[in-house]
A and B are shown apart, each in its own frame.
Chain A
Amino acid sequence: MLNKLYDWVDERLDITPIWRDIADHEVPEHVNPAHHFSAFVYCFGGLTFFITVIQILSGMFLTMYYVPDIENAWQSVYYLQNEVAFGEIVRGMHHWGASLVVVMIFLHTLRVFFTGSYKKPRELNWVVGVMLFGVILGLSFTGYLLPWDMKALFATKVGIEIAASVPLIGGMIKVLLAGDSTILGAQTLTRFFAIHVFFLPAALLGLLAAHFIMIRRQGISGPL
């Protein structure tokens, strides 16, 4: 049944090359924890992606309740946390996932760094990886404001002041992020929501695609 379906699609769209490319990419012995336990360090990238997927899914569910407005944001998170069935779990996964993804991407960066895997011919993939690190940190920073509780507001104030201290363009960055040159309020919350939910995830998905296409193209770096 499944084979017939596959053949039906394949006859029209010739999907075998792309399917064989995904299924057949060889996993060398030195990255396989089944053969060398120390190769678990090669799992950090995959686990980063795994948490990223969980973040996207849990985030999608959170937006079913969350209201990006200063009157209702905190109320909606409080309701989600205390009243909604499994709301505490979904928010908990998103909250802890934000920490775990930073930990895992840091470990993944260290693995690539200390195995020297960023060297020729993989320079571009390293640069894209560092950009992904920046996007993840941006997602953490913008997501921190969204519950609109005390620590969110004041941590964001500090963060925006740091951004404002950039020479020359600091003032413009501040207005771009906060929506106003002095007030951190309703505009800031909607902007951070838009950045957290639309702009940065779009950048994240684009960079991830580039990251994975480059890995498939070059294969994983050889043993030391």
Chain B
Amino acid sequence: MHRGKGMKFVGDSRVPGMEHRKPNIPKDYSEYPGKTEAFWPNFLLKEWMIGAVFLIGYLLLTVAHPSPLEGQADPTDTAYIPLPDWYFLFLYQLLKYEFASGPFNVVGAIIIPGLAFGALALAPFLDRGPERRPSKRPLPTGFMLLAIASIIFLTWESVANHDWEAAEAQGQITEEVEIDTSDPGYEIYAGAACISCHGDNLEGAVGPTLVGTGLSPEEIAEIAVNGIEEGGVQSMPPSWDGTEEDLQVMAEFISGLEAE
């Protein structure tokens, strides 16, 4: 910047007076090669359209798939099978292989991801040649394709081996309902085999929760007597060995339990 004798400033600031300013006019793009254009406003308007299309897709995804929320964290639940968000699945899957788990955990958890990320960060210093076309630098291209293939394969394996139904069931938000334990229906329930699978508060354990089943007393009595058989698999054994009157009272009690 021009400084020195004859320079005029704005008041006592260091900003030069108007006669020494850069004029506020766009550059001449005709001197640039090809169809080079200005960022503002020419290109930004086009970029904006791409952004708008992207945003529409993004919003449709948001509306079509509400974000999931599982039940409140309970550190005492030791049976829970953990699962990271999908973009960490490949790392998680890597830790399941024998050479990368147990005594070799450090291999899968630190060494392999560390080497991969370190090599990525140092790529400009490992691949120093002037050639830019992927076909002219086979080693970097090959390693990157190998890494992408590994990520896709490991993610695929992880998804294929995960029990998604169990994952959905274990994360469900359980409704907490005040159970009237003095109800004669509850007393019959507690005295029968039902309580061992469906829990003290009918919240479910081995069997599902009995709160808010939406079933009529007749249907519940029928299930209690005959159990549930689906596709040849006995998912609930026939369980009732009491009297008809007690069964009637208990079935009406369970049928009347509504989720809040």
Contact = CB atoms under 8 A, between A and B. Distances in A.
A175 interface: no
Contacts of B32: 26, 28
Interface in A122-139: 122-123, 126-127, 130-131, 133-134
Given A14-B21, A78-B69, A33 B110 contact: no
Contacts of B75: 153, 184-185
A111 to B, nearest CB: 11
A51 B81 CA distance: 31
B134 A148 contact: no
Looking at chain A's contact residues, the main secondary structure is helix
Given A26-B36, A99-B86, A150-B71, A12 B15 contact: yes
Nearest to A127: B121
Task: For chain B, give the interface size range.
Answer: 35 or more
B99 to A, nearest CB: 15
Interface string B64-99: 011111111111010011111111100110010000
Interface string B95-116: 1000000000110011000000
Nearest to A25: B39
A68 interface: no
B259 interface: no
Given A16-B21, A115-B132, A150-B70, A23 B38 contact: yes
A74 B35 contact: no
B40 interface: yes
Which among A122, A133, A144, A151 has the highest number of chain B CB atoms within 10 Å?
A151
Interface of B: 10, 13, 15-16, 18, 21-24, 26-27, 29, 32-43, 46-47, 50-51, 54-55, 58-59, 61-63, 65-75, 77, 80-88, 91-92, 95, 105-106, 109-110, 117, 120-125, 127-134, 137, 140-141, 144, 148, 170-171, 173
Interface of A: 10-14, 16-17, 19-20, 22-30, 32-35, 40, 43, 46-47, 50-51, 54, 70, 74-75, 77-78, 81, 88-89, 91-100, 102-103, 109-110, 113-120, 122-123, 126-127, 130-131, 133-134, 140-141, 144, 147-155, 157-159, 162, 165-167, 184-185, 221, 224
